[in-house]
Amino acid sequence: MWVAKRRQKLPAGKADTLSLRLVDALNAGTVAGVFIGVAAFFLANRLLPTDLPKHELWESRAFFIAWAASLIYAFLRYRSKWRDLLALAALAFLLVPVVNALTTSRHLGVSLPDADWVMAGFDLTCLATACLLAWIARRCARRKAVAPRKQRVAVEERALEGR
């Protein structure tokens, strides 16, 4: 919200300052990156061999590697970083129940009829998270730039004078 408020205060047509770009990239990489990291952690839990030495350490590494990659991506992209990272997070969370179904016998088709609410709840929560993140990513893609307040007021005043 801080970045959005600061952008509204910029004169019309003026590019973002370096500090605004820095804070926006940190926000996108951190917020969306945490979702990507959490999904990477869950996917690593299912995809890494269980007999892998230090299995838990590699799950944690998957989280931090995905989060760091998200931060790097956020600094490399200017316009579409939020949309891209949130869409990737949605895809990653969508994959969690799919990978669970492919790698275990406790997928939704089994856990729901068996009333295994822990497994079913986890998979359903991942699906709900994927839907929410996809919806937010879509909203980011459709969002139009909001004119600075001074510019909006000037346009409204001209419209009133023309009556």
Structure-token pair, residue 11: 């004169």
Rounded to the nearest integer, the mean pLDDT of the chain is 85
Tell me the H-state helices in 48-116.
55-76, 81-103, 108-111
Neighbours of 136 (CB within 10 A): 18
Neighbours of 45 (CB within 10 A): 18
At 153 the pLDDT is: 56
Flag whether pLDDT at 45 surpasses 50: yes
At 79 the pLDDT is: 78
Grade residue 151 by pLDDT with cuts at 50, 70 and 90: low
Calculate ∠ Cα 72-32-118, nearest 5°.
Answer: 130
Grade residue 135 by pLDDT with cuts at 50, 70 and 90: very high
Cα separation, 83 vs 21, whole angstroms:
16
Cα separation, 110 vs 99, whole angstroms:
15
Cα separation, 109 vs 116, whole angstroms:
11
More confident residue, 88 or 78: 88
Which phi and psi angles does 104 have, rounded to 5°? -135, 175
At 142 the pLDDT is: 80
Cα separation, 138 vs 143, whole angstroms:
9
At 145 the pLDDT is: 47
Residue 28 per-residue DSSP state: H
Cβ contact 59:48 at 8 Å: yes
At 131 the pLDDT is: 98
Kindly state the percentage of the chain with pLDDT values over 70: 76
Grade residue 60 by pLDDT with cuts at 50, 70 and 90: very high
